[in-house]
Structure 1
């Protein structure tokens, strides 16, 4: 009789879960999740002391706790359970394996340095104890073994990568949700533990969802599947995805699947199959293609991390850019992080991020470009701030996109955004800006995006005094662009 442990990491779902399916082939099964203290609290970036940041903020802590609760409920509905333990996985998992006399531990693997280091320590300790370890790859659309080239040779350019996988690779079929074997006979001696609260993880209560946010983002596989059903089928939003994906306000302008994808509550292959089903039953157009296009972008950064390792997270990036003079300015960074730069389009997006844990893709690009290009502050510090705040944080996508904008990543060009032009294009009536900066609501759209152009008389007329009601801009945008051209 064989006994298996399945170690749930950022794969908190039952559907399309190969690690779970592998473990469920045993006669007895013990599902386990480990709350690793290294993922919470203040940490030095990359082990350095150049700056410190909070690894996980309140929004993602809440989402993770809800996801664990949902997973436990789903397992219990199937006469199984979820053991939750605090501690380092390399210590917790061997101890549990001994308690239930486990023969193997099944898990999903990730390509990033911190996750790989933990996994390596777990493998070493388990194998020393005579326990077999089976690793599975299960968080991307395309499987790493199905790429047209070895992952070490994938193109550093997205377009080349996309064309190669679209031409020469196939998306695997989903793994069926297995029937679960009974718990180990010694399960009665195992304390299941309690699902933590955000206060347990980060020392503070998570705020209630703000009514101004685009979605409350409830964690868990159940909520993930509900969101897919709502967005694709009930609201029929998929047919217009490409036209609306650059929106800024409302729950329907984009899919917003990312929090569930990145916490592993939702499989990208499930999304892929739902899109294909929609194309068969309703319509196939540029929008249906574009949602899959975005999933391939997500894959691209995963395989970039597998290829480049820690270099992707270094200040010079994969392009080894040592020619950029990055500034250290704590006061400037704090103004940016507080949404007090005096540039409304930047401030509105940062305040949405701080309040809800989410911000649109268009907003992320502009906020990142302002910090990295206009202010020339160390891009990694901005990326680390996003790591803290984002409810949908993923290390590969987050740092890959930041490096891309900062000119040290997957783009041979120096890329920057003209923030005011972007604001006028994507928020022409300043509805988004005034939604998050109500102090600018009295202003016409042209002034709401550039309040520093108000004369003294106009400030009195509209009742918005710069430096009192809203900050003076911390940088002359036009002069800062001159250095980038």
Structure 2
């Protein structure tokens, strides 16, 4: 190791892929020290079953967008395919790392263990590691008694402004040298895919178009699978991967509300931002819910895995058109509105009577906006295993009639049904033998038979879960959960 190593700081990007309102980047710049910006495509995470190529492509696009913004600063993000400690260890051979700046990550157990390993590495190498609060999620909270006020104070603080220009960053020549030593990550992605494209520029375009006109029917269309694709903000992947901060979104919404013509819609949108943070904070405080029910009273619940059910659900072949359309849409585009997501989980855990853990990895892979802090609390809530939320078992046919009355969404994603009369598109099981002959359509051949009886399975699931909810341990746990997580300022919600 050279004794004449240049002293540098490092900004380690994770789920904060932006320049504006990035406290870690801001703090690094304020030191005046030469600074390296880095993102590590961790091999262990790329192998993790919660992630898929759509996530890595979104991240790559986000970094390409960052590099475009950094051109005036004569630098770029050093993008490496390796592991974090291994990468920093090699850099430490070339430079003396003074301080690493990053945001705290509310992630999977694998990222938590990685952070603990990195902390040991920093201590052993006399490196200072400064982690900043991310989106108003606070570590080591004992309860939620004053969380909402802390979150609001955080959201109302001034944003961290990034100005272009050279700011003591390691220059392109130095970064190119590091790329030749380390394993450089190729950032190319397939253009013009159906997925939303990553990057802060795209995030702000979606935000602006939402406030331009899309927000006006936000509340009316939020539960409708087709109309929600336009009326919802579609910001979730950009917030999840940090292309835009929650504070940027909230402050712009609050400013826009002052002059907009439909304040009720913006209030509803702002409320959703609050609940998003609430669920992530819940996961930050009880990370074990990645693996088991947050309410220990439900640990006794054992469900027999049925691979045929799971395959039918994953591929959109259950015989329930809205379920199948929703899954096929999610698999193809990476997006589905909240109500349809809840319905997919409800159907899987209640009607198919499968453990939510068996749904977790497929959904996380498909959701372009996969956010662990949203993912696991919502899975458990929709599965009815928190003990504190209302048990909801969605009827897919009733939801189809209410939220896709003309079957436009179903026709798009289950085209084999599109030539049938609307009443049969909603519920093909209503077709008699003569109906099938008349329409030249065979249930079980042209479209699957319903794999379960939803009325019977709904009753079974409801009775069983209510029985568990009444047991002493579940009640005790419910009280603990309410005491720890309920916020008096805004109550609890599903």
Question: In the alignment, which of 247, 250, 257 is matched to residue 269 of structure 1?
Answer: 247
Provide the rounded CA distance (Å) in 1 between the counterparts of 2:205 and 2:433.
52
Matched residue, 2:34: 28
Which structure 2 residues correspond to residues 344-355 of structure 1 after superposition, within 5 A? 344-355=321-332
SS in 2 for 1:103: strand
Matched residue, 1:9: 14
**Is residue 401 of structure 2 the alignment partner of residue 424 of structure 1?**
yes
**Is residue 226 of structure 2 the alignment partner of residue 254 of structure 1?**
no
Deviation at 1:58, TM superposition (A): 2.9
Q: Do the aligned residues in 2 keep the contact of 1:7 with 1:106 (CA within 8 Å)?
A: yes
Give deviations 1:374-393, integer Å, cap 9, x for gaps.
01111011121111111111
Deviates more, 1:318-327 or 1:248-257: 318-327
Matched residue, 2:160: 175
- Gaps in structure 2 of 5+ consecutive residues: 1-5, 463-494
Provide the rounded CA distance (Å) in 1 between the counterparts of 2:95 and 2:315.
49
Provide the rounded CA distance (Å) in 1 between the counterparts of 2:232 and 2:300.
37
Deviates more, 1:332-341 or 1:281-290: 281-290
Provide the rounded CA distance (Å) in 2 between the counterparts of 1:385 and 1:207.
24
Deviation at 1:76, TM superposition (A): 2.4
Which structure 2 residues correspond to residues 40-189 of structure 1 after superposition, within 5 A? 40-41=46-47, 43=48, 54-112=49-107, 113-138=109-134, 140=135, 142=136, 144=138, 151-154=141-144, 171-178=156-163, 181-184=167-170, 187=175, 189=177
Deviates more, 1:291-300 or 1:112-121: 112-121
| CA distance 1:35–1:366, shift in 2 (3 Å) | same
Provide the rounded CA distance (Å) in 2 between the counterparts of 1:97 and 1:293.
45
Provide the rounded CA distance (Å) in 2 between the counterparts of 1:414 and 1:196.
46
Q: Do the aligned residues in 1 keep the contact of 2:206 with 2:235 (CA within 8 Å)?
A: yes
Q: Do the aligned residues in 2 keep the contact of 1:108 with 1:137 (CA within 8 Å)?
A: yes
SS in 2 for 1:384: helix
Provide the rounded CA distance (Å) in 2 between the counterparts of 1:275 and 1:260.
16
- Gaps in structure 1 of 5+ consecutive residues: 44-53, 199-204, 211-215
Matched residue, 2:485: none
After the TM superposition, list the runs of 4 or more consecutive aligned residues in structure 1 that deviate by more than 6 angstroms.
Answer: 164-169
**Is residue 228 of structure 2 the alignment partner of residue 278 of structure 1?**
no
Deviation at 1:317, TM superposition (A): 2.9
Matched residue, 2:436: 459
Provide the rounded CA distance (Å) in 2 between the counterparts of 1:102 and 1:166.
32
Deviation at 1:114, TM superposition (A): 2.6
Provide the rounded CA distance (Å) in 2 between the counterparts of 1:167 and 1:39.
32
Matched residue, 1:226: 205
SS in 2 for 1:144: coil
How large is the RMSD of aligned CA atoms in angstroms? 2.5
Deviation at 1:187, TM superposition (A): 4.8
Q: Do the aligned residues in 2 keep the contact of 1:308 with 1:318 (CA within 8 Å)?
A: no
Give deviations 1:9-28, integer Å, cap 9, x for gaps.
11111011001111112321
Matched residue, 2:471: none
Matched residue, 2:275: 297
Provide the rounded CA distance (Å) in 2 between the counterparts of 1:59 and 1:188.
27
Matched residue, 1:190: 178
Deviation at 1:336, TM superposition (A): 0.7
Give deviations 1:196-237, integer Å, cap 9, x for gaps.
358xxxxxx869634xxxxx401111111111112213xx22
Deviation at 1:319, TM superposition (A): 4.5
Deviation at 1:294, TM superposition (A): 0.9
| CA distance 1:344–1:161, shift in 2 (3 Å) | farther
| CA distance 1:143–1:385, shift in 2 (3 Å) | closer
| CA distance 1:189–1:161, shift in 2 (3 Å) | closer
Provide the rounded CA distance (Å) in 1 between the counterparts of 2:191 and 2:312.
22
Deviation at 1:119, TM superposition (A): 1.4
Q: TM-score, normalised by structure 2?
A: 0.85
Give deviations 1:398-442, integer Å, cap 9, x for gaps.
111111011123734333212211111111111111110011111
SS in 2 for 1:316: coil
